[in-house]
């Protein structure tokens, strides 16, 4: 029986554009690559969390949370790997999609705006991951669909942590945060909807 899950309303309302149907169709046809890139994304999510620990060791609340987040993302990585083993999909190196790099290129370089941007970008990536898990779960084979249905709650939680730290850690006013978030949302939406010749977990509309 197909898993029934919905994109949480707060996540759907946060993202500037939904995932295109054409990406969902493509993903169902390319499950081994989806899983392989997903495993990479979990590793990268762990390493992004560790990056905050290295870059801002003096921020104690942030460091505690990011340390936990890194462990949770590594646990997700292990779970994806074991599902891949079950499905006899071998783990290989895969080039990174344009998505995370495209967002990080937009981050400003001066503090505290850099920290603000990195946290907002983290929130966007978690929100998009949550949205894609929810949208694709009902269309996947049972066991994988259930796994994805379970992951989306974690990603929604991670999204909330990133947003909360953007508000509490940077000393930037609510209006400026909203204005910056609006700009980043536009960039994020175009990365996941513009034609994209490469298929990845966060790729755009498939183009030949
Ligand atoms: Fe994760
Ligand atoms: Fe996450």
Give the tens place of pLDDT for each residue, 28-56.
999 999 999 999 999 999 999 999 999 99
* Ligand closest to the CA atom of residue 160: 2
Residue 35 alpha carbon to ligand 1 centre in Å? 13
Give the tens place of pLDDT for each residue, 55-73.
999 999 999 999 999 999 9
Residue 179 alpha carbon to ligand 2 centre in Å? 24
Give the tens place of pLDDT for each residue, 74-107.
999 999 999 999 999 988 888 888 999 999 999 9
For residue 15, what pLDDT band results from cuts at 50, 70 and 90?
A: very high
Residue 30 alpha carbon to ligand 2 centre in Å? 22
- Structure tokens given for 200: 């990845």
* Ligand closest to the CA atom of residue 40: 1
Answer left, alpha or beta for residue 111, where phi above 0 means left and psi between -120 and 50 means alpha. beta
* Ligand closest to the CA atom of residue 49: 2
- What's the pLDDT score for residue 3? 66
- Structure tokens given for 183: 């700009």
Give the tens place of pLDDT for each residue, 104-133.
999 999 999 999 999 999 999 999 999 999
Burial (CB count <10 Å: 0-12, 13-18, 19+), residue 144: buried
Of 147, 182, 183, 177, give the one whose Cα is nearest residue 162. 177
Taken in order 195, 36, 153, 53, is the CA torsion positive or negative?
Answer: negative
Question: Cα(162)–Cα(116) distance, rounded to whole angstroms?
Answer: 10
* Ligand closest to the CA atom of residue 75: 1
Residue 208 alpha carbon to ligand 2 centre in Å? 30
pLDDT at 10 over 70: yes
Give the tens place of pLDDT for each residue, 156-206.
999 999 999 999 999 999 999 999 999 999 999 999 999 999 999 999 999
Residue 208 alpha carbon to ligand 1 centre in Å? 29
pTM: 0.96
């Amino acid at each position: 029986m197909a898993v029934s899950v919905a994109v949480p309303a707060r996540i759907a309302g946060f993202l500037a554009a939904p995932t295109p149907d054409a990406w969902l169709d493509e993903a169902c046809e390319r499950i081994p690559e989806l899983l392989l890139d997903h495993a990479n994304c979990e590793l990268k999510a762990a390493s992004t969390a560790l990056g905050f620990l290295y870059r801002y060791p003096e921020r104690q609340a942030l460091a505690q949370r990011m340390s936990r987040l890194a462990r949770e993302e590594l646990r997700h990585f292990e779970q994806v790997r074991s599902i891949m083993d079950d499905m006899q999909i071998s783990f290989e190196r895969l080039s990174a999609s344009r998505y995370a790099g495209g967002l990080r290129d937009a981050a400003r370089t001066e503090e505290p705006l850099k920290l603000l941007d990195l946290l907002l970008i983290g929130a966007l990536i978690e929100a998009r991951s949550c949205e894609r898990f929810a949208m694709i779960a009902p269309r996947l084979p049972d066991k994988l669909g259930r796994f994805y249905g379970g992951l989306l709650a974690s990603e929604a939680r991670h999204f909330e942590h990133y947003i909360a730290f953007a508000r509490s850690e940077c000393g930037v006013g609510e209006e400026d945060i909203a204005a910056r978030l609006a700009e980043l949302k536009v960039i994020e939406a175009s990365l996941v909807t513009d034609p994209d010749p490469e298929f990845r977990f966060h790729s755009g509309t498939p183009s030949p």
